[in-house]
Structure 1
Amino acid sequence: MMDETDRRLLALLQKDGRRASADLAKVIGLSVSATNDRVRKLIDSGAVRSIEAIVEPSTVGFGVTAFIYVDLDYGCSEEEFVSEVTAIDKVLEVHHVTGTHSYLLKVRERTNQELNAFMATQLKRLPGVKRTETLISLETLKETLSLPF
């Protein structure tokens, strides 16, 4: 069970996953070893999936963000589709959604031409894909992975 100290620790880690244990301990009022134990438990429990760098896509050449609705054929193997689409590196998110569409994907590409090629040669050839609808983001005004603790 997570307590207030765990929530404060998660909030700090979300802002800076490289923050020194001694600094974390000072802020939350625990010893370094107790803080390290809590961080390890948060990781072991799955509350913290990973601690990694968040790269700014536009600075490394990924200027196109697309959200793609995918409709699947009735009776197809959704498990096979999910297995294959989640294995594609440029597909950053896969959401099973309600409404008229089956899935919503978030994809990053360098150019619209590369996005078009991805759609034609990879996505539309996945098992069960009946139809897609693509929305291209003109500007990202907010994007975060941080939860509001």
Structure 2
Amino acid sequence: MGLNQTYQLDELDLQILDLLIKDSRTPYLEIARICHVSGGTIHVRMKKMEELGVVKGTRILLNLPILGYDVCCFVGIYVDKTSSFSSVVDQLSLISEVVELHLTTGNYSIFTKVICKNISDLQSILLNKINVIPGVQRTDTFISLEQPVDRNITI
């Protein structure tokens, strides 16, 4: 079922999402109090938005440098031919340091976000995990120096 075909988000749904975007740990009863509805209404609305795929789950945000992961980088991957694409994606998805994988237009077939402990670790990931995948022609790596903006979209 398409969202626009059978269910339109209303003002209450948007208000719930806005509150959860600001703080995903806000209890449903607190959201209900702010929105002037019952806790059951919030539960029903959230369940519906999960079923529709509007809300895909929740995540914990980690302070990676405190955990010893000091390097965040982006790897642009050139795939040698279209028939290799699916296999390359499957192999990349098995690398635990690859935390995001995007299929892109432009210079790269695939753009990944990689988190690792240090530059030596990054070199090992590139040489021993990514560049050895059949179908990967070559890669370009961009090291993130700082992430001054990290947010969800606002509604």
Using structure 1 for the length normalisation, give the TM-score.
0.93
Structure 1 residues 1-149: aligned runs within 5 Å: 1-144=8-151, 146-149=152-155
Code of the aligned partner of 1:127: P
Distance 1:75 1:141 in 2: 36
Distance 2:148 2:12 in 1: 31
Do the aligned residues in 1 keep the contact of 2:21 with 2:154 (CA within 8 Å)?
no
Is 83-92 or 59-68 further displaced after alignment? 83-92
* CA RMSD in angstroms, aligned pairs only: 1.3
Which ranges of structure 1 fall in alignment gaps of 5 or more residues?
Answer: none
Do the aligned residues in 2 keep the contact of 1:43 with 1:49 (CA within 8 Å)?
yes
Distance 1:45 1:89 in 2: 29
Helix, strand or coil for the counterpart of 2:34? Answer: helix
Do the aligned residues in 2 keep the contact of 1:8 with 1:28 (CA within 8 Å)?
yes
CA-CA distance at 1:32 after TM superposition: 0.6
Using structure 2 for the length normalisation, give the TM-score.
0.89
Do the aligned residues in 1 keep the contact of 2:75 with 2:113 (CA within 8 Å)?
yes
Aligned residues: 148
Distance 1:75 1:99 in 2: 15
Code of the aligned partner of 1:132: T
Task: State the percentage of identical aligned residues.
Answer: 28
Code of the aligned partner of 2:83: C
